[in-house]
Amino acid sequence: MGRLFGTDGVRGIANADLTAEMALGLSVAAAGVLSGDSAGDGRPTAVVGRDPRASGEFLEAAVVAGLASAGVNVVRVGILPTPAVAYLTGALDAAFGVMLSASHNPMPDNGIKFFARGGHKLADALEDRIEAAYHAHAAGEPWDRPVGAGVGRVTEYGAGADDYVTHLVGALPNRLDGLKIVIDTAHGAAALVAPGAFARAGAEVVAIGADPDGLNINEGCGSTHLEPLRAAVVEHGADLGIAVDGDADRCLAVDAAGRDIDGDQILAVLGVAMREAGTLREDTVVATVMSNLGLSLAMEREGLRLLQTSVGDRYVLEEMRRGGYALGGEQSGHVIVTDHATTGDGTLTGLLLAARVADTGRTLADLGTVMERLPQVLINVPDVDKARVGRSPELADAVTDAERQLGATGRVLLRPSGTEPLVRVMVEAADAAQARAVASGLADAVKSALG
């Protein structure tokens, strides 16, 4: 039996892989594992939010029913970004939080993510306990069912969006007056809060991808499709553009000419800014092995230390918490600033990036030159047995041959996706043509060995 939890919660096609029954069962299991200290009335409280996917409506109903039936008071905060639910879990002193979202995945997918007290992502051991309880209950093992006054109560919390925006604006070192910024919210969870946060901070805002209808989330927009943002920034003569994904836990940017600024460059810009402000603890930035070699070179040149972890913002965060570091993230745009957030926050990242532009008077393009991106090619290979990546001799030979071709000027990384049924092939080289050729050959090898 495969593990339900991936690198970012439980995901699948809604009503096929991720059913209402599963959502209810996982919620009951989580209630037993995460309830911890009781609230004032003797019952724990859970914060529940979602992104605007149509399937989130029935899945949220199942989650709320499961939690209340397990004796947990539920505070529904509605459609909000994942980092907002994490923030409110801490701000409202809830025992745990639940977010329904499949992040950047297509609309038919959905997911369930749990936050521990304080809004922190769960350790593997806690996820394992929830999964074990879920399977035990599904197999018929009884669980304590409160009755009468013992069942949980469900309330609405309408102030969550304003609380979160106030928190974001309060995290800024300076205002954004004088900047014109295009915001693409991917028709997702940040559609109502991100444009308002930038406007409250003083920016002139042009919002695109901000009309969610439950079916259009991530559809040709947001951080996974930057084309509309590039065009809008140029069309409106904006200083920069910010794109988040469906649940707004990641952020990418474009400069005034419509050129991309990826997560590695954002880390470099913010790392230097925080070092100057004295808030970059231990002069250290945490990233993953997928980060461009250019980030490592830039950090070394700036006298900063770069620590690299396994892929996944949860592993970045674990390293940050272990060492007490203040800044970390991924090339994909998951950026974590622990002074203000417990998880990746795309809106906060965009605000801090814009604040750096406003404070220095330099363009985003100029700030981005702190790091030179080396040619890097990423190919997603679908419809293969990703569990066999590390067990195929044929594939191991192909990787060895690729590394021999690249020599000391590049590197190869094969990684099964933690959230999708595919294998990611990453090749980095000093020469773009060589990177493309090697990556293409490795992608073919993955199909042959694992197909």
Residue 408's pLDDT is what?
72
Q: What is the 3-state secondary structure (H, E, C) of 169-192?
A: HHCCCCCCCCCEEEEECCCCCCCC
Residue 331 to residue 63: CA distance in whole angstroms: 32
Residue 75's pLDDT is what?
98
Burial of residue 136 (number of CB atoms within 10 Å: 0-12, 13-18, 19+)? middle
Q: What is the 3-state secondary structure (H, E, C) of 200-248?
A: HCCCEEEEECCCCCCCCCCCCCHHHCCHHHHHHHHHHCCCEEEEECCCC
CA-closest candidate to residue 246, choices 53, 77, 48, 49: 53
Residue 41, pLDDT above cutoff 60: no
Residue 335 to residue 266: CA distance in whole angstroms: 8
Residue 417's pLDDT is what?
83
Domain locations along the chain: 10-157, 179-368, 376-450
pLDDT category, 410, cuts 50, 70, 90? confident
Residue 40's pLDDT is what?
47
Average pLDDT score over the chain = 94
Kind of pairing between the strands at 411-416 and 10-13: unpaired
Architecture label for domain 179-368: 3-Layer(aba) Sandwich (3.40)
Query: How far, rounded to the nearest angstrom, does the alpha carbon of residue 87 sit from its chain's CA centroid?
Result: 14
Q: Do domains 10-157 and 179-368 have the same CATH topology?
A: yes
Is there a contact between 82 and 247 (Cβ–Cβ < 8 Å)?
Answer: yes
Residue 162, pLDDT above cutoff 70: yes
Range scoring the smallest mean pLDDT among 34-38, 83-87, 291-295, 334-338: 34-38
CA atoms within a 13 Å half-sphere pointing along the CA-CB vector of 103? 25
Mean pLDDT over 288-295 rounds to 89
Residue 12's pLDDT is what?
95
Query: How far, rounded to the nearest angstrom, does the alpha carbon of residue 291 sit from its chain's CA centroid?
Result: 15
Mean pLDDT over 85-92 rounds to 98
pLDDT category, 431, cuts 50, 70, 90? confident
Range scoring the smallest mean pLDDT among 82-91, 189-198, 311-320, 413-422: 413-422
Cite the active site residues.
103
Residue 30 to residue 134: CA distance in whole angstroms: 8
Q: Which amino acid is at 240?
A: L
Query: How far, rounded to the nearest angstrom, does the alpha carbon of residue 104 sit from its chain's CA centroid?
Result: 8
Q: Which residue has the higher pLDDT, 376 or 229?
A: 229
Is there a contact between 423 and 450 (Cβ–Cβ < 8 Å)?
Answer: yes
Range scoring the smallest mean pLDDT among 93-102, 179-188, 311-320: 311-320
> Does residue 121 sit in helix, strand or coil?
strand
Residue 39's pLDDT is what?
45
pLDDT exceeding 90 applies to what percent of the chain? 83
pLDDT (tens digit, 9 = 90+) per residue, 46-81? 999 999 999 999 999 999 999 999 999 999 999 999
Residue 430 to residue 432: CA distance in whole angstroms: 7
Residue 275's pLDDT is what?
98
Task: Specify binding-site residues for Mg(2+).
Answer: 103, 245, 247, 249
Token pair for 414: 């094969």
Q: How many CB atoms lie within 10 A of CB 147?
A: 7
Token pair for 397: 């030979």
Mean pLDDT over 156-161 rounds to 98
Token pair for 76: 């529904």
pLDDT (tens digit, 9 = 90+) per residue, 438-448? 999 999 999 98
Residue 108 to residue 104: CA distance in whole angstroms: 11
- Give the H/E segment covering residue 438: helix 432-450
Residue 418, pLDDT above cutoff 90: no
CATH classification of 10-157, choosing from 3.40.50.20, 3.40.190.10, 3.40.120.10, 3.40.30.10?
3.40.120.10
> Does residue 86 sit in helix, strand or coil?
helix
Q: Which amino acid is at 344?
A: G
Strand ranges in 235-326 using DSSP code E only, listed in sequence order = 240-244, 251-255, 260-261, 284-288, 305-309
Token pair for 208: 């695109």
Mean pLDDT over 313-328 rounds to 94
Residue 401 to residue 165: CA distance in whole angstroms: 51
Handedness of CA 30, 35, 40, 45 (dihedral sign): negative
> Does residue 336 sit in helix, strand or coil?
strand
Q: How many CB atoms lie within 10 A of CB 318?
A: 18
- Give the H/E segment covering residue 386: none
Tell me 40's DSSP state. Answer: T
Residue 416's pLDDT is what?
87
CATH classification of 376-450, choosing from 3.30.310.50, 3.40.470.10, 2.40.50.140, 3.40.640.10?
3.30.310.50
Helices (H), ranges, 255-345: 263-277, 293-301, 313-323
